[in-house]
Structure formats: structure tokens, C-alpha cells
Amino acid sequence: MDILKSLVFVGTEGIYHDHAGNGQYLTTMLNDSDGIEADFSRNYNVLADGLGTYSTVLFYTDIGELTEEQEKGLLNYIQSGGGFFGLHTAAASFRESEGYHGMLNGFFNGHSPYMDFTVNVSDSEHPISTGLTDFEVTDELYYLKHNPDTSHHLMHAYDNTKDETHVMAFHHKYGDGRVFYFALGHDLAVLENPSFQEVIRRGVLWVGNRL
């Protein structure tokens, strides 16, 4: 099977995450994975007309704005079968872009303190999560505005600071494209976690129709 071409797209507007550094780390990790070739970009213009050479795009973005052409290019790409992987602050990005958040089915609505918590596997049969066991992380536990009826949940986590359980990973279709969202990803404490890395690799392969 051909190598899966993936783009790691990183916004730089956020001030609470090292998007450039973390994005480069993720790109290197993916390039060290079997079957994946990843490029790194901070150029928004690629969204308008430069996604056609990629099977998947991973968004590790924050804040930012999409022009009408950029949003249309991204959504058309996914509707036509391109894979989309939204990571962590992808749910906090492009807050005026209703089409983007409709595609993602997730909108940032706060998070817990930076803390240790357990990520529980909700569905152990899906290709992204099969064989994975519950794992401990140090991260922000995200709260999302999210419609649970339109996505399939793969992982969740209990927030003992609020006595609430929140979805951590879910997927759905958008047109002909696969969409996967994973809420973890604040800094290297979680990026270096082997279970986190396995979900990243599998998520990219799954949205690219390789799993």
C-alpha cells in the first residue's frame, strides 16, 4: 500500500501552548511511524487550495481566523473524502467559523486545572482504540459543546474537580470524509505518553482509510 501523506497544520495565535514546537514533535513522530509521511505547515493558504496532495490533515491550532476561501477549501476537501484529525485546541480555533465547528462537532467550553487523570476507553472494538487499556495522563481535561448523537465516542475521562465525565475522543463522517477528534495534547508531558502517541498514529491512519 502507498505511503499515507499527511499534513500537520499548526496555528500560532495561541499563547498557552507551544504549537510550533509541539507540532514539529508530532510531525517527527508521524514520520517515524510505518506507512506515514507527514509535512508541517503554518501557512493558512494551504487550506484554500493546497490540501489535494494529502490524504489527511491534522489540526493542532488555536484561536485564529479562517477566510471564506480557506474554510470552504478545508470543508470541500473533507466532504470529498479527505481525512480530518482535530487535536486538543482544534476545538478552540476559528471561533467565528460555524462551518468548521459544524464539521468538527466540538467547540471548546473550558477545561479542568492542569492535572493527572485517567483516560478510559469507551469502545475497545474500534480500530483506533482496539487493544488499548485505560491510561494515565497529565493534561487539561477539556469540556466541549458537542452533540453526542452525531458522533461515536471512543474515550472519556472523569473530572473529579467538577464530578463530571467528558468525552475525550470521538469520530463521525462529514460527507465522504472521516473526522476524528482527540482532546488531549497540552504539552510534552502528554505528547511523550506512549498511549497518546499510539492514538495519534492510529487516528491519522484511520481518517486516511488505512485502518
Q: What is the average pLDDT across 58-70?
A: 93
How high is the pLDDT of residue 14? 65
pTM above 0.95, yes or no: yes
Give me the percent of the chain exceeding a pLDDT of 90.
Answer: 91
Domains and CATH numbers, the chain: 4-106+167-207 (3.40.50.880)
Q: What is the pLDDT of residue 199?
A: 98
Q: What is the mean pLDDT of the chain?
A: 95
Model confidence at 56: pLDDT above 90: yes
User: What pLDDT sits at residue 210?
Assistant: 96
pLDDT of res. 180 = 98
Contacts (Cβ under 8 Å, ≥6 apart) of 65: 94, 96, 97
Q: Grid coordinates representing 35? A: 506507512
Task: Give residue-wise pLDDT tens across range 98-131.
Answer: 999 999 999 999 999 999 999 999 999 999 999 9
Check pLDDT > 90 for residue 18. no
